[in-house]
Structure 1
Amino acid sequence: MTNKFTVTREQMAEILRKQTDFSKIGIFNDVMFCSVFRNPEDCKELLQRITGLQIAELYIVQEQKSIKTGYLGKGVRLDVYAKDVDGNSYDIEMQVMNTGELPLRSRYYHSQMDNYQIQTGQMYTNLQKSMVIFICGFDLFGQNRSIYTFETVCRGKSDIVLDDKRKTIFVNIGGDRTEIEKEAADLLDYFRTGNPTDTFTKGLQTEVEKIRQDTEWRENYMTYEMKIELQSRIGREKAEAEARAAGMAEGLAEGKAQGMAEGLAEGEKSRDRELILKWLQKGRTMQEIAEDLDRPEKYVRKLAAEKN
C-alpha cells in the first residue's frame, strides 16, 4: 500500500538546496565516527583505551552484520561491529543525546550479537564474550564518571559474578578523568573538543579531514541526510494529520471550538520534537536547529529535554 504522506516536489527541491557544511562534521558526528573506526587498527586502539584489554588482532564485520537498525543507505553505518581473533564481539556506537532507552537498547544489541555467534542447534558453550559500548555526550547515570562498566553480578554479593560473558560500557566524554588512564583521557578529550593531543588522536583527526574531502563519502552522507529529512517531513505531516483529526473529534465531542487548534498545536510540537532529536543525533547545535525551525532556542531546548 502506498503511503499517502508524501513530500511534494517543492519540498524536495528545498531539501536539495540545503548545503551541508562538511567542515563542521567532526569525530563526534555518528556517521563520521563510524567511518573513521572502520579501520581495524584504530578500532582496536579505541577498544584498548576504553576497556583496558589487550587485543591481539581485530577485524571489522561486514555491513550485513550491523547491529543497529535503521541502516540508511550505501556507505552509511551508525555503529561499528567488530570481532577479535578469539571470537569475542564488540559493538560500538556514538550517542549524542539521551534518548531514554539505552539500557534496553544494550539488551537488544547483546541478543543480536548472540544470534550472530551461534546457529540454531549449536551448544551455548560456543558463545564468546560480547561487549556493547556507547560513547555518550552526556552522563547517563549522573555520577560524573568517565566510564561505567556493567556485568551481571549477584545482588547483595557483588563478588559473585554470573559468567554470561556479557559486558556493557557507557562512556561519558565529559566525566571525571582521575580514575582512568591518560590514554583514555586523551581520547575522551578529543571526542569532547575535537582537538587531538597525542599521536593516536592526531591520526584520527587526519582521517576525519581526509574523509571530509572524499567525494563518494560526501554523496553518501548527503543521501543519508536527505533520507532523515524526508522521514522527518513525512512524520511531521502524519502527526499533523492525526492531531488535526484528534482535535476535530475532541471539538465535536465536547463542543469546544479550540479542539482542532489544540490538536494542531500538539501535532506541531510532536513533529518538532522528532526533528530536533534527529538533528541533535547528527551533531547540529541548538542554535542551528532553532534557526532552521524558526523557533526560539529556549523552545528547542525544552522539547529536547522532554521524554516521549
Structure 2
Amino acid sequence: MQVVNHQNLPQRTRFYQSSLANDAFDRGQNYGQADNAYVIFLCCFDPFGLGEQRYEIKRQVIKYPDYPYSDGETTLFFDITNLHQTVSPKLQNFLDLLADRKVDEADAFIVQLRQRIAHVKQDRKWRKEYMQRTLYEMDIENDRRRAVLEGRQEGHQKGLQEELQEGLQKGRKEGRDEGVDEERLALVRDLIDSGQTKEQVESFLINIHKLSPQQAQKYYRLALKK
C-alpha cells in the first residue's frame, strides 16, 4: 500500500524483486524451475501520471518489444483512486473496498476478506504477522501528519487544531485506564522478540495506539521485565 508518492517506486520494485529472487532458487535447482515473482503496489495516486488504473511492468528486449523475454518477474501497480473501471469486476470490487467506496457485499471474496481481517486482528496466534503488516500504518500516520503541517502552512490552522485536539482527547481517554493492559504488554513483547528496537516499539505505540511517550516507555519497560 502506498499513500504518498515518494518518487521511488521503480527502485523499490527492484529491491523487492531481488528479495523474491533469493527465495525463488534452491541450491542446485535448475534456473528454469524457479517460481514466478509478482510485486503488487496498491497506490492512492497515479504512480506514473499516465491516467491508467492498472500498470503492468515486465522486462523486454529493446527494439523487439514483442519478443517473449520471460524471466518470471512481473510488477503490477494499481491506482485505487482511478474510476475508469478497466479491470475485472471482482478486482474492481476489491479496489473499491480499499478506496472505501461502495462494494458488492455479496461478493464471496469480499466476505472472506472481511472475515480474515477480523480473524487476524483478534487471534493471538497471528499477532506477530499482523504487527508486521501494520507497519505501513505508521507511514500512513506520518503522511497524515505531514499533510496536516502542510495544511497549516497554507492557512488551515483551524483544521490542524481540531485534529490535534481530537488526538489529545483520545490520548486522555486511553490514559484513564491505570491498570496494566496485559494484551498490550503481550503485543510489545512480541514486537521486541521480532527484533524491533526500543525506538521502533515506542514509535508504534505512540503513532498507532495513540499513547503518550511516557506511556509507551512504561509499556516497554514492563515488557522487558516479564
TM-score, normalised on structure 2? 0.53
Q: Deviations over 1:217-254 (max 9, x none)?
A: 89869987xxx8xxxxxxxxxxxxxxxxxxxxxxxxxx
| Cα distance between partner residues in 1 of 2:89 and 2:112 | 17
CA distance in 2, matches of 1:209, 1:126: 37
Partner of 1:306: none
Q: Secondary structure at the match of 1:105?
A: helix
What's the CA shift for 1:164? 1.1
Counterpart-to-counterpart distance in 1, 2:34 and 2:143? 42
Deviations for 1:254-298, whole angstroms, at most 9, x for unmatched residues?
A: xxxxxxxxxxxxxxxxxxxxxxxx8762357737973xxxx4624
1:154 aligns with 2:61: yes
Measure, in 2, the Cα distance between the counterparts of 1:218 and 1:128.
26
Of structures 1 and 2, the one scoring higher in RCO (CA 8 A, sep 6+) is 1
Pairwise mapping of residues 145-224 of structure 1 onto structure 2 (< 5 A)?
145-193=52-100, 195-198=102-105, 199=107, 200-212=109-121, 214=122, 216=124
Residue of structure 1 in register with 2:33 after alignment: 126
Aligned letter for 2:76?
A: I
> Partner letter of residue 201 of structure 1?
I
Equivalent residue runs for 1:86-125 within 5 Å: 94-125=1-32
Consecutive unaligned residues of structure 1, counting only runs of 5 or more, are: 1-93, 229-277, 301-308
How is 1:137-152 mapped onto 2 (pairs within 5 angstroms)? 137-152=44-59
Structure (1/2) with the larger strand percentage: 1
Could you tell me which residue of structure 2 aligns to residue 297 of structure 1?
A: 151
Q: Which 10-residue stretch deviates more, 279-288 or 156-165?
A: 279-288
Distance in 2 separating the partners of 1:168 and 1:177: 20
Q: CA RMSD in A?
A: 3.6
Q: CA deviation at 1:142?
A: 1.1
Deviations 1:149-188 (A, max 9, x none): 1111223332113121111111111124342111111111
Q: How many residues align?
A: 151
1:286 aligns to 2:144 (yes or no): yes
**C-alpha contact 1:138 1:172 (8 A) present in aligned 2:** yes
Higher helix fraction (1 or 2): 2
**2:120–2:130 Cα contact (<8 Å) kept:** no
Contact 1:97 1:281 in 2 (8 A): no
What is the percent sequence identity of the aligned residues?
21
The residue number in structure 2 matching 1:250 is none
TM-score of the superposed pair, with normalisation by structure 1: 0.41
Decide whether the 8 Å contact of 1:97 with 1:137 is kept in 2: yes
Q: 1:142 to 1:280 in 2, by over 3 A?
A: farther
> 1:195/1:109 Cα in 2 relative to 1: closer, same or farther (>3 Å)?
same
- C-alpha distance in structure 2 between counterparts of 1:113 and 1:215, whole Å: 28
Q: Is the 8 A contact 1:137 1:174 kept in 2?
A: yes
